Amino acid sequence: MSIGLLGLLDDVAAIAKVAAASLDDVAAQATKAGAKAAAVVIDDTAVTPRYVFGFSADRELPIVAKIAAGSLRNKLFILLPATLAISYFLPRTLTPLLMLGGIYLCYEGTEKVLEAIFPHKAHDHEHHGDGAITARSLENEKVAGAIRTDFILSAEIMAITLGSVANADLWMQALVLSLVGVGITVAVYGLVALIVKADDIGVVLASQHDNSVTGAVSRSLGRGLVLGMPGFLTFLGVVGTAAMIWVGGSIIVHSLETYDLHFVAHAISSVAEVAARPLPVGAIVTQWVVETLFAGTVGLLIGAISIAAIGFAITPAWKLARRAWDERS
C-alpha cells in the first residue's frame, strides 16, 4: 500500500513538473507575443487619455476604470473566443476583418485632424440624435468611443499574439491570449491612470512643507508636474491621433500583402531604404520614420475616403432607410 502511495506521489510530482513547465512556456510565449504587439500597446496608451480630457478630476479615474473594464471584456469575452474560432474555422476572414478595423482607425484619426482644422465642420457628415447633451451622456459617449477604439487596437494585439503562437495547441493559444490580454490591459490603463492623475500628484508634492533637501526636490517635481502636464496631455492627444492613423494605415498596407498586392509596401520600403542609405548612423531610425510617415499618409487617404463615403453615401442612405421605416410604421 505504501509503495502504491509513493508511486501515486511520484505521478503527481511528474504531473506537477509538466504543468510547471507548461506554465513557464505560456509565460515565455506571452512575453514574446506581448513584445511583438508593443507598438500597438504604445498606440493604445497614447490614444486613451484624450477621452478623459475636459472632465472634472473626480470623474477621471472612474472613466478610466470604465474604459479598462470595457477593454477587458473586449479581449476576454469577445476577441479571444472570436479570434480562436475565426482562425480555426474561417482563417481567410481574419485579414478582411483586420482591414475593416484599420479603416475604422483611419476614419477616427482623420476625423480628429479634420476637427482640429475645421472645428465646426468635423462632424457634419455624421448623423446626430436629438436631445440635450448632459454631463452624464457626454461621459457615456466618450467611454463608448474609447471602448470602440480600444476594440480595434485590442483586435490587432490579439491577432499579433495569435500569430506568435500559431503553431501551438489550442489551449496554449487560449492561455497566451488570456495572459497577454489581461497583462496589457492592466499595464495600459494603469499607466493611463497615472498620466491623467499626474497633475493631482503634482499638487500634493508641491504643497510639501518639509524644509529638507527631499522636501525641496518634491516641491520642484510637483511644480514641474502641475505646469508640464497640460502641455504633455495635449502632446499625448496629438500622438494618439497620429498613432491611430499610422496603425490603421499600417494594417491596410500589410493586409494588402496577404493578397499578393505588394506594390504599396514595396514602394514604401524602397523609399525608406533610399532615404536611410546616406546615413551611417541612425539609418534604422530614419527608415522607420519614413515608413511610418508613408503609412500615415495612406491612413489619411483612407480616412478621407471613409469620411467622404459616410457623408455622401452611408449617412444619406441611412436617413432614407429611417424615413421609409418611420413612414411604414
Percent of the chain beyond pLDDT 70? 80
pLDDT at 214 over 90: no
What pLDDT, on the 0 to 100 scale, is given for residue 125?
Answer: 54
Least confident range from 36-50, 61-75, 277-291: namely 36-50
Average pLDDT over residues 176-184: 86
**Which is higher by pLDDT, 215 or 76?**
76
DSSP single-letter state for residue 134: P
C-alpha angle 145/147/148, rounded to 5°?
Answer: 65
Could you give the CA distance from residue 41 to residue 47 in angstroms, rounded to a whole number? 10
Percent of the chain beyond pLDDT 90? 16
Least confident range from 16-20, 146-150, 261-265, 283-287: namely 16-20
pLDDT at 268 over 90: yes
Model confidence at 18, pLDDT cuts 50, 70, 90, reads: very low
Highest mean pLDDT: which of 50-64, 160-174, 294-308?
A: 294-308
Average pLDDT over residues 295-323: 89
Number of H helices, E strands in the chain: 12, 0
What pLDDT, on the 0 to 100 scale, is given for residue 139?
Answer: 84
pLDDT at 298 over 90: yes
pLDDT in tens, 185-197: 888 888 888 888 8
Model confidence at 5, pLDDT cuts 50, 70, 90, reads: very low
Could you give the CA distance from residue 54 to residue 235 in angstroms, rounded to a whole number? 15
Least confident range from 18-22, 32-36, 119-123, 177-181: namely 18-22
C-alpha angle 138/143/148, rounded to 5°?
Answer: 125
Could you give the CA distance from residue 174 to residue 85 in angstroms, rounded to a whole number? 11
What pLDDT, on the 0 to 100 scale, is given for residue 187?
Answer: 85
Least confident range from 12-21, 205-214, 301-310: namely 12-21
The grid cell for 106 is 483611419
Provide the residue ranges of all domains of the chain, joining segments of one domain with +. Answer: 21-328
Model confidence at 133, pLDDT cuts 50, 70, 90, reads: low
Name the pTM for this structure.
0.71
Could you give the CA distance from residue 175 to residue 281 in angstroms, rounded to a whole number? 41
Average pLDDT over residues 152-179: 80
pLDDT at 302 over 90: yes
C-alpha angle 152/51/294, rounded to 5°?
Answer: 50
Please state the φ and ψ torsions of residue 131, each to the nearest 5 degrees: 115, 150
Average pLDDT over residues 100-122: 82
Please state the φ and ψ torsions of residue 38, each to the nearest 5 degrees: -60, -40
**Which is higher by pLDDT, 132 or 41?**
41
Instruction: Tell how far CA 255 is from the center of its chain.
Output: 18
Could you give the CA distance from residue 269 to residue 79 in angstroms, rounded to a whole number? 31
Q: What residues contact 95, with CB distance under 8 A and at least 6 apart?
A: 255, 258, 259
Average pLDDT, the chain: 79
What pLDDT, on the 0 to 100 scale, is given for residue 6?
Answer: 46
pLDDT at 19 over 80: no
Could you give the CA distance from residue 138 to residue 264 in angstroms, rounded to a whole number? 40
Model confidence at 15, pLDDT cuts 50, 70, 90, reads: very low
CA separation, residue 7 to residues 14, 20, 110 (Å): 10, 20, 66
